[in-house]
Chains A and B, each alone.
Chain A
């Protein structure tokens, strides 16, 4: 008996949604085996990793705080990925959003105006869009590869932030250390639950996910996004402009990443630092695909990825597991997802040896 992969006539809709669940289940089983091999009780280790971090009200709000930038960025990326526009530079767009928003906070420092926060968000969106517009222009004008351009611009953005925080935007009273002043209250997002770090940005992100779902599922634009992505030729016959799609995808994903950057600095961080994101822009790519490029899926995937970070920390504190365990879990989820995705387009067939001998 042999196994053979046979291509399906149409991708299986059921499996599209089932494979992420399968991937997570396989990750948990493999994780349990790894824990057992390391000499830890698997049940207790999985409990420490996945339940303990969110076992308190505070822990749960932290999960939401961590998931907010991931979900927001992934939503923007998903719109691009659906139309086959590959924005890999969300990290840079986030960083430029933080630069623009942070600039507003620094230049208005000392003022208590209620307009500061909205202005910061607007500036962050503009910053992110600006950083998305560069690859969009180069793509539509010179057909430059947006993967490379957006990725390379990430380094430009992070170095620009670093230069500002080491230089003109340094806290004047900060002993020359590279960080800005602590933002005033008017430049900080309101806290939703007293005593936690859960901020208004998380709520806005949730609303944007709903809006994103509506746009993708219920509007002509959403339809165009899908058609351009799946069948560019058909799209052009239908009069959908591919160039317009490139612009929309990069501007929207840039805007959302920039907004995520503002939420980080006006939320949990509260100032500009030389580095404001531990790679959210890249992790969000995993989130987008794990969430099937669908807003609801992205919400769930962002929570799962966020939990893997929190769990890694708890496992270090409680069980002295090495930090690498976080990466192992994230890698396994992606690996199993990609592996099981084969089943969406192909089905497994059992073959008798006789049938196989023909080839």
Chain B
């Protein structure tokens, strides 16, 4: 060990001052991101949340982040590095960080951990997620009214419950407006690959889709929609800049409020381990401004849908719901509970193709 360090020291050719100057009594908050902060989608919105903490709490906090951390061997090291370098609150923002976060949380009982989209909790480990499917439902209402071909293209990342839930919520809303419309799904097996996402969009448009939707993180599909003159939706953030004509709206993740609240709770000692699943009602999910080319009555319907979901009078998974075989799986008068939503592994009627298993 020491020899290796010596060699390196010689290469550097200089004695270097001891790093890590005395720390002030500020709260250090760390973030682990699965993509680059410039993805304009998922990671970008988490980074906006990080900046919201800095804006709200000023010089009482210091934030750090590590981007594009692979969900394998590397995650545990990065999380542990944040924990051991004085970060007292650490957000790990992808499902694949669940077990690494658990392991590190056990070793650092005095550090608060927050894991997005997972289901394992501990005394010092909370989980949080947003009900993105509520936004998908609104998108479905708009798409049902806007589509002429009755075919919607949906670019999906991985067949996990969160993504399947989005496809189903969208399809239910779509067919509540347009009962014969169908959804074609392409699985790209990536969260972020603008080229691959764009290629999938092209293939779907070639098959007749005139509205494109994606559950991946880049603006790639929207840019294709813009170029090919079809409609699209932004994912995670308002992507209008990439597709001023094509973007009907966007389902925005807004972590700002949650992140600031959790940082404050850590500072004043009221932080507790909990599971948060917020939707329109908590502001965690928002719709971006609607495209001016959408007729006014459709915009009004979308706004009413948001209000109804927010108020709890409309549940996106309200029965009757049929599966792909036409069997009624949720009877009229019933709605799926959170447990069923969290483990969702089947398609509703109207989705074409088989769910990869």
Contacts and interface: CB of A to CB of B under 8 A. Distances in A.
B68 A323 contact: yes
Interface string B74-117: 10111011101100000000011001000000000000000000
Contact of A25 (B11, B17, B64, B158): B11
A270 B84 CA distance: 22
A277 B72 CA distance: 7
Contacts of A163: 356
A264 B81 contact: no
A276 B72 contact: yes
Interface in A304-319: 309-310, 313-314, 316-318
Interface in A172-218: 175-179, 182, 197
B160 A51 contact: no
B227 interface: no
Given A43-B14, A317-B82, A323-B36, A65 B73 contact: yes
Given A166-B357, A177-B95, A318-B19, A313 B72 contact: no
A179 B119 CA distance: 13
B9 interface: yes
B65 interface: yes
Interface in A52-105: 52, 54-55, 58, 60, 62, 65-66
In this complex, the interface size class of chain B, counting residues with CB under 8 Å from chain A, is 35 or more
Interface residues of A, number: 53
Nearest to A63: B4
A320 interface: yes
Interface stretch (B239-247, B296-304, B339-347): B339-347
Given A51-B8, A317-B85, A176 B345 contact: yes
A270 B77 CA distance: 14
Given A166-B356, A197-B76, A51 B5 contact: yes
Contact of A44 (B16, B64, B77, B78): B16
Interface in B1-57: 1, 4-5, 8-9, 11-12, 14, 16-17, 19-20, 30, 36
Contacts of B96: 179, 273
A283 interface: no
Contacts of A278: 70, 72-74
B19 A47 contact: yes
Contact of B81 (A162, A177, A179, A314): A314
A51 B68 contact: no
Interface string A294-311: 000000000100000110
Contacts of B176: none
Contacts of B71: 273, 275
A44 B342 CA distance: 47
Contacts of A277: 72
B11 A316 contact: no
A46 B72 CA distance: 27
B343 A46 contact: no
A269 interface: yes
Contact of A268 (B30, B76, B78): B76
A114 B68 CA distance: 37
Contacts of A51: 5, 8-9, 12, 16
A24 interface: yes
B205 to A, nearest CB: 25
Given A46-B12, A323-B68, 20 more contacts: A28-B12, A43-B12, A47-B12, A48-B19, A51-B5, A159-B189, A167-B357, A178-B160, A197-B77, A264-B73, A275-B72, A278-B70, A313-B69, A314-B81, A316-B65, A316-B67, A317-B30, A318-B85, A323-B66, A323-B67
- Chain A to chain B: the 4 pairs with minimum beta-carbon distance, closest first: A278-B70, A47-B16, A268-B73, A176-B345
29 contacts: A24-B11, A43-B14, A44-B19, A47-B16, A50-B11, A52-B19, A62-B77, A65-B73, A65-B77, A66-B73, A176-B343, A177-B160, A178-B158, A182-B99, A197-B77, A270-B99, A274-B158, A274-B189, A275-B70, A278-B72, A278-B73, A303-B4, A313-B66, A313-B69, A313-B78, A314-B81, A316-B67, A317-B66, A320-B64
